[in-house]
């Protein structure tokens, strides 16, 4: 009897740990701002349940190996003019710039990403501050993602003194 109970328990644990595949909701391909065609990363957005969205952002930028870059969501999904057409940080809650998850911060204050010796790095953020719904003030669809050439100091208002815009992408819904 104990043997059957053990196998039933193992089967139950196995079934509950087999999560359904996360549904991808949106994506942004990040390109260099100086040429617009060299891909340096991708941000994928998934339904995390309970009204939350999870972003997995990966950068692969060999020219920036062994450095740290700042990443922010910007108001407009326009990467023209070396990323300047994306305008300022996306800040629907009108909060002060800061570090994600501490004190006040913009909904677009993603943070710093350390790149390894190959120029690769990633960050994962899960939040209820974002949505993909049309007309929602929290919607990330159509926003720009900017990769900056420096690190975010999390203090300087409103940008974090993050340096030049070296990468840009536009968040687009997955149909």
Number of domains in the chain: 1
Q: What is the pLDDT of residues 39-73, one digit of tens each?
A: 999 999 999 999 999 999 999 999 999 999 999 99
pLDDT average, residue stretch 61-90: 96
Query: What pTM did the predictor assign?
Result: 0.86
As to burial, measured by CB atoms within 10 angstroms (0-12 exposed, 13-18 middle, 19+ buried), residue 97 is buried
Q: What is the pLDDT of residues 139-170, one digit of tens each?
A: 999 999 999 999 999 999 988 999 999 999 99
Q: Kindly state the percentage of the chain with pLDDT values over 90.
A: 80
- Inside any domain, residue 85: yes
- Inside any domain, residue 130: yes
- Inside any domain, residue 143: yes
- Inside any domain, residue 16: no
- Inside any domain, residue 66: yes
The CATH number assigned to the domain holding 157 equals 2.60.40.200
Which residues form the domain of 64? Answer: 22-173
Residue 167: strand pairing partners: 32, 147
């Amino acid at each position: 009897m104990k043997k059957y109970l053990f196998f039933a328990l193992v089967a139950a644990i196995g079934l509950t740990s087999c999560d359904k595949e996360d549904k991808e909701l949106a994506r942004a391909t990040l390109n260099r701002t100086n040429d617009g065609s060299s891909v340096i990363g991708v941000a994928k957005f998934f339904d995390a349940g309970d009204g939350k969205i999870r972003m997995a952002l990966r950068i692969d930028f060999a020219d920036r190996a062994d450095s740290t870059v700042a990443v922010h969501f910007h108001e407009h999904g326009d990467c023209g003019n070396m990323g300047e057409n994306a305008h300022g940080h996306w800040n629907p809650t009108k909060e002060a710039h800061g570090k994600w998850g501490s004190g006040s911060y913009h909904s677009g204050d993603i943070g710093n990403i350390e790149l390894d010796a190959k120029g690769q790095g990633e960050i994962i953020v899960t939040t209820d501050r974002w949505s993909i719904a049309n007309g929602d003030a929290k919607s990330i669809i159509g926003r720009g993602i900017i990769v900056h050439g420096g690190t975010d100091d999390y203090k300087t208002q409103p940008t974090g003194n993050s340096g030049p815009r070296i990468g840009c992408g536009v968040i687009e819904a997955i149909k």
